[in-house]
Structure 1
Amino acid sequence: MLAASSPPLPRPAPQELEDTYQDAAGDVLVALCRHSWRAVAQHLETELLTGVFPHRSVLYVLGVLSSDGLCPPGSRTSWNPAHPTCSQMATKSVSFLNSEVWSKELLRALTKPSQSQQEQSPEKDFLFTYYGLILQAEESSLTVRTHLQGLLETSHQWPKQREGMARTVGLAAARHLDDVWAVLDQFGRSTRVKWSLHLFSLKVGGQSSEDLRWKWAGSTILLAYGEVAAKAKAHILPWVDNILSRMIFYFHHSSWDETLKHSFLTAMLMLVGAISRSEGAHSYEFSQTSELLECLKVLMEKEPQDALCTPSRWQTLHLISSLCQLRPPIGLERKSRLLSVCLRAVFALPPLDALQKHSCLFLEPPDIQVRPQRPPPAQGGLSPTPTGCAVLWRESPPGHPGSGRVPASAPRGTGKGGRTWPAAAPPPRPEFTRQRQ
């Protein structure tokens, strides 16, 4: 009797199979770099400057080399974006921007779906950076604007795609700040972006692929403003208030979600970092800091109270602290409100059930019990309440990592086993109590 045969495995698509083979060939070339760096570098440079858009395998190798830092010490050639060689190659590639075929192939490669949309492929990561360096070296403002507009008209659905687009825009801004600002402003006023900001939250039912292409366009713009601030360096101070005003606009007029919150905080961190590195920032008057602090206060108030270690909470605190150091100084009343919000966000205890549920995550798990409140002993303890209850840290058994804790009901100055301590000296372990009315 023949055994039931298992269903055949699905065959990979021809394009996926070709990409897999090309990645394997690229890995071999990367391995050769460790032994023959000069020969491989010359081959890659030749392939990049032929005038024909490079094959995906070449871009894959360049992406791996630019991210892994395989350049030998003292080498004149490096594919790290910060190395002068990469900028020189970008300068030699400027003429390709005028080739319609080359430009279309570039956009097709940048917008091609990756096998995992949550991770950026090495070739696309390199291309976004290289594209920005080419636009940075371009002399024509019209060419820069045309290419940036074409890039921003592509899909904004995936996080890595938005980050790559913002990086390209930021690199172009290092030399064409006026042009980049005009492109971002025009794009932000476009019908599609306005629709994504105001109407997306009102849509019901299913979402089409066209909807998702534009839903997070505001996220791309926020990240782009942050990259512009980071790349403009010394030229950023006169632009700070303009950038802040646009960020505040997207904060108030976006259909808010975790994606936009993350983009807003990331962009703000880049902007504040650029300000801190600029000479004369402490003597510069910023007119938008008060409005921005109100936005951060709203974010802090919306943070969950049952989780203290959220990245957005600490990013917000860092931003508030940095902005408070800028001029003009914050008024006492506003500073008091900010401090109150921050204290409530940090020192609020989790609910009792969450404390019990997550105690297993502690290195020394507390032994928690809940019992009706009783009158305290003669030498201290918990204050009595008619209907309250107390959370007590019970004594751990001998040998337990947390042994030696003092019960909440123990008299002050008395340790484990009835040992007494001098009146002026505290016991070795503090009392841990919490009351719930």
Structure 2
Amino acid sequence: MKSEKHWFGLPLSLFWGYIAIAVFMSGDGFEMAFLSKHITDMGFTPSQSALVFTLYGAAAALAAWSSGVVAEIITPQRAMRIGFFLWVIMHILFMTLGLGMRNYPLMLLFYGIRGLAYPLFIYSFVMLVVQNVPKHRLSSAMGWFWAMYSIGIGCVGSYLPSFTIPWMGETGTLWFAIAWVVAGGLMAMFLLRNVGGESEKANLSTREKLTELSRAVTILFTNRNIFLACLIRIINTLSLFGFAVVMPMLFVGRLGFTMSEWLQIWAVFFFITIFTNIMWGVLGEYIGWIRQVRWFGCLGCAISSLAFYYLPVTFGHNYWVAMIPAVMLGITVAAFVPMTAVFPVLEPKHKGAAVSIYNLSAGLSNFLAPAIASLVLPFFDIVGVVWTYTVLYLFAGILTLIIRVEQPARIPASQGAKGYGEAVPLQNK
């Protein structure tokens, strides 16, 4: 692999791809804050609205799981192109024949199919990063990816509709999303077309391609380290998805915070992750991937999770004290960023399948976090949910002592390496 020019870990040859991810996910995120209510305002029941999002989530999980292998087989650029066109076509059909005609079956159909699009677009770019960035720089490269993702869906995608809805309404805002997605998709199509070469597996026979696709399942059972990494990645974002469900009950329902105050506290968490994703991506190359995940990710999230409950319970309705655990969690949850780099390194001959398992882990975390909360809440209340997540983070820390992966680290240029530093293997200690 040739030398890659970079800026603070951002591979410059893929610069426009990162911008494309931020712009694309901005458009994809427009609907998050209001589409469910918009559907119920049209006369559909809350359960019907929930089913729309359930099918969308199932399709997104399926696409995320398979996207790594698909991108490796047909090239990431082609996979991103498919995801781009699929999003635009299905969104137009959803808006015209689904919402426009208030046809519930068509809403389910087109929005469900659209759920396949964004994971295919963004996770195929992850595969492009894996194929073109040296493994000792994957951590920082993936830190930038998650930062762009957060800027898109977490900042622009959530913030801009607060201005467009009063101006053009909810329907107009949903149509406006297409402009952002088209801009991001065109950037990817024309500015990434000369990045990388033809995929090594593009010339496989149909049977060989199906065999490679099946590895997105079988690799969990044939590679123990991939299985352990999968468990660690699932635990990574339990607090992120779980606290979004249970903490409003604590802050708003019991401690007297307003909903606006709670949303601001939660927004600070997401804002912090934009910077900490980049920070931990770069630091992981010096500290060591698994070492950073163990001490700053697992142990850090365990402490942050407890602080998220006990600080506000102890100090009551104190807005600034409540901000402290939000900042802590925003710092520590991003320390897991090197896990994105760990998966393809653990299975270098089948990187697509490894990335697919990473994507599956992220989807399972999204599903299991509220599921754990719903099971624990009736018996042990909110404090029981917090302690369950804490114990799981500590369990993930134990798993990092078992998993075996070559962890690239860097030595400073002053010790003899030129430029940014030279990769040297750091063993799992």
Bigger radius of gyration:
1
The TM-score range, normalised by the shorter chain, is: under 0.3
TM-score by length of 2: 0.25
Question: TM-score, with normalisation over the residues of structure 1?
Answer: 0.25
Q: Which has the higher contact order (CA 8 A, sep 6+)?
A: 2
